[in-house]
């Protein structure tokens, strides 16, 4: 567990593949964590059914990475919340985008807790 200070990176992606493939998405979450220099405590996924989307969350020692996909709309919603100065959330996002043939159509980085002033 790290200090209560982090970056919460939020991104929406337009994707070309893999959005209904739970195995690919689990592998992408694990590879994203490795790229971000964070430690995975566990990965939990739910596949909504054939041709349907996947919800997945990697619990991290440094917070979490989540993804929700909609194959029927060709989009995914990702968030990467990481605490600790060594963590690189954009590296995680790049790995997920590459795995899904994705283009980032929205990105916002939100400073959380001690990364803002006044708390």
Cross-strand pairs, 8: 81, 110
29 sits near a copy of itself (criterion: CB under 8 A): no
- Residues serving a catalytic function are 63, 68, 83
Site map for a copy of itself, 81-110, x if CB under 8 A? x-x---------------------xx-x-x
112 sits near a copy of itself (criterion: CB under 8 A): yes
- Total number of residues binding a copy of itself (CB under 8 A)? 41
Residues 6+ apart with CB under 8 A from 64: 57, 58, 79, 81
16 sits near a copy of itself (criterion: CB under 8 A): no
Burial class (CB in 10 A: 0-12, 13-18, 19+), 5: middle
Question: Which residue in 4, 23, 86, 98 binds a copy of itself (CB under 8 A)?
Answer: 4
Site map for a copy of itself, 53-72, x if CB under 8 A? x-x-x-xxx-xx-x-x-x--
List % helix, strand, coil for the chain (3-state, nearest 5): 20, 45, 35
Q: How far is the CB of 24 from a copy of itself (least distance, A)?
A: 18
Length of the chain: 119
């Amino acid at each position: 567990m790290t200090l209560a200070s982090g970056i919460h990176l939020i991104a929406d992606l337009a994707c070309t593949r893999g959005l209904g493939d739970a195995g690919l998405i689990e592998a992408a979450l694990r590879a994203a964590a490795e790229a971000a220099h964070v430690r995975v405590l566990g990965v939990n996924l739910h596949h909504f059914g054939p041709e349907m989307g996947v919800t997945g969350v990697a619990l991290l020692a440094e917070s979490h990475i989540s993804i929700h996909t909609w194959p029927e709309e060709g989009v995914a919603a990702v968030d990467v919340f990481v605490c600790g100065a060594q963590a690189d959330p954009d590296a995680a996002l790049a790995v997920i985008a590459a795995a899904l043939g994705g283009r980032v159509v929205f990105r916002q980085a939100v400073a959380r807790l001690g990364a803002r002033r006044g708390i």
